[in-house]
Amino acid sequence: MPESQITKNTIFVVAGASGDLAKKLVYPAFFSLFHRGYLPQPTYIVGYARSIIDHETFLNQVTENIPKPADDPTFPAKLERFKAILSYQAGSYDDPAKFQELNIYLESLESNYSGSERNRIFYLALPSTAFVQVAENLKKNVYTSHGTNRLIVEKPIGSDLESALELVHAISQYWTEDETFRIDHYLGKEIIKAIPVLRFANSVTSGFWDSKLISNVQITLNESFGTEGRGGYYDTAGVIRDVIQNHLCQVFSLLAMERPSQLNPTEIINEKVKLLQATQPVNPENVLLGQYIGYLDDPGVPKDSLTATYAANVLLINNDRWYGVPFILRSGKALNETLVEVRIQYKDAPGSLFGNNPRSELIMRIQPNEAISIKLNIKSPGFDSGVVPAELKLNYKAAFPDVFIPGAYEVLIRDVLNGDHATFVRNDELEAAWKIFTPILHYIDGKTNDPRPVPTKYEFGSQGPPELAEFLAAFDATRV
């Protein structure tokens, strides 16, 4: 067992416990881990927020999003056992006295422990504007000297390079890098965690993972819904800050990094940082922006907003493996389907022996329905001597029907307990990612001497801006 692994006597404090993130994602993950026996024993989970609510109301709020399987008669008993470890404390985020009261409450819970070990994990499910003051108050007033302390920080961490560095520096005044876990929940997804294994545990795949054979790589996050009342927040961010600079950039770095010398968090992140540092900042000529028709009708969105709800960004890497290969990171709202996938398109077969055939592809479906598939050209069945594309597909649920596949937040909470930073974002990794996207964000925001770009309108339920096929073709990519 690693020295950094926490196995007993633990309290989780969820700051922002009354918010949607905590109620919809964090507490359901805690429940899943708890009833499967993956949390330390004993464990308490304490919610902390400004809302003044009674105990029963709090329990109802944080358990209403826990899936209730119809075929599990033991579920009600499991839920009651989970509720027994939950509690709530109301308090402000800027008053040290309230955090001192929280500390006294935690000590009362810890009096039930055997032994002297006391471990505390603090989860900041909060707007980033509250990160620093809460991190400071937790360190000064609620930090235990009798065990391990860890701080989990959610995105967004900054809105550009300068603000991200300011936030990282401010938190580092109170919490060390080893104690800090910056979440990007895409790093906890099953297919994302499988990328290093697929790349480095198979000679057949590692042998065709470079510019000699690969034409382009498309990393796609499509959503079939719009902003749905969240336009006020979304308009200050836009699609690149919302999902591309963080989620899709993390997928990009795992796909393109070099083989680490060892499979430990430090070496894995070192290779990701090297890759990001070798990536050119996004050029305005390599970006397609769109805005879906109807976005301006969302409450909170200015009627003259130029915020992009769709973006395709081309990343180019200055190293021997990937020189000349475009990585196309694209995402949008109000599209024809909800889909997250990686699509590696290989170069056309040399010559024209069989005519103009579709390209071979390696496809990693991240959601929905996790799967890995390979598209190849084969002979048409029967007497026909033509060529048809065929797909060899590994569907995770079909292949592993009896295996529990945890959700992203379950994975990440477990990794925090294990002290495993490989699925979290290190400070220099965050900086390198922001350096790639900050110039294009400043251009889009009108903070340069260039005119602010106007996103192309596209229909709700379409594939995106009408120019998408032409844009992709310019980088030798096929729209799918």
Residue range(s) in the chain whose domain bears CATH number 3.40.50.720: 10-154
**pLDDT tens-digit profile of 96-110?**
999 999 999 999 999
DSSP 268-309: HHHHHHHHHHTBPPPPGGGEEEEEETTGGGSTTS-TT----S
Tokens of 192: 């994302």
Helices (H) and strands (E) in the chain, counts: 16, 15
The pLDDT value given to residue 51 = 93
Q: Residues 347-375: what's their mean pLDDT?
A: 88
Which residues partner with 169 through β-bridges? none
Q: Residues 413-422: what's their mean pLDDT?
A: 96
Please check whether residue 256 is in contact with residue 322, taking contact to mean a CB–CB distance below 8 angstroms: yes
The pLDDT value given to residue 450 = 92
Q: Give catalytic residue positions.
A: 247
H helices of 14-152, where?
20-21, 27-35, 55-63, 75-83, 96-110, 131-141
* Phi (first) and psi of residue 350, to 5 degrees: -65, 145
Query: How far separated are the first and last CA of the chain, in Å rounded?
Result: 46
Tokens of 353: 């022996």
Q: Which amino acid is at 174?
A: Y
Measured from the Cβ of residue 180, the count of other Cβ atoms closer than 10 Å reads 21
**pLDDT tens-digit profile of 284-326?**
999 999 999 999 999 999 999 999 999 999 999 999 999 999 9
Peptide linkage before 401 cis (omega within 30 of 0): no
Question: Is the torsion defined by CA of 270, 273, 277, 279 positive or negative?
Answer: positive
Angle CA 299–17–66, to nearest 5: 90
Tokens of 302: 């200015």
- Which of the pair, 429 or 156, is modelled with greater confidence? 429
In whole angstroms, give the CA distance from residue 388 to residue 381.
9
Q: Where are the beta strands (DSSP E) in 183-259?
A: 214-222
The pLDDT value given to residue 2 = 44
The pLDDT value given to residue 72 = 86
The pLDDT value given to residue 359 = 87
Measured torsion, CA atoms of residues 108, 110, 115, 119, in degrees rounded to the nearest 10:
-150
Name the one residue in this structure whose structure tokens are 């010398």.
261
Options 3.60.10.10, 3.40.190.10, 3.30.70.260, 3.40.50.720; which CATH number does 10-154 get? 3.40.50.720
pLDDT tier for residue 480 given thresholds of 50, 70 and 90: low
Q: Residues 151-173: what's their mean pLDDT?
A: 96
Q: Say whether domain 187-406+427-473 belongs to CATH 3.30.360.10.
A: yes
- Going across the sheet that includes 149-153, the strands are 86-90, 43-49, 10-15, 119-124, 149-153, 180-182
Q: Residues 169-184: what's their mean pLDDT?
A: 97
* Phi (first) and psi of residue 77, to 5 degrees: -70, -40
Out of 42-56, 167-181, 347-361, 419-433, pick the least confident: 347-361
Please check whether residue 32 is in contact with residue 406, taking contact to mean a CB–CB distance below 8 angstroms: yes
pLDDT above 70: residue 388: yes
pLDDT above 60: residue 3: no
**pLDDT tens-digit profile of 28-74?**
999 999 999 999 999 999 999 999 999 999 999 999 999 988 788 99
The pLDDT value given to residue 479 = 59
In whole angstroms, give the CA distance from residue 221 to residue 331.
5
DSSP 4-37: T---SSEEEEEETTTSHHIIIIIHHHHHHHHHTT
The pLDDT value given to residue 220 = 98
How remote is the C-alpha of 216 from its chain's centroid? 23
Q: Which amino acid is at 94?
A: D
- Going across the sheet that includes 327-332, the strands are 387-395, 371-379, 361-367, 339-346, 214-222, 327-332, 310-315, 287-292, 456-458
- Which of the pair, 72 or 374, is modelled with greater confidence? 374
Residue range(s) in the chain whose domain bears CATH number 3.30.360.10: 187-406+427-473
pLDDT above 50: residue 1: no
Query: What is the Cα gyration radius of the chain?
Result: 24
Percent of the chain with pLDDT over 70: 99
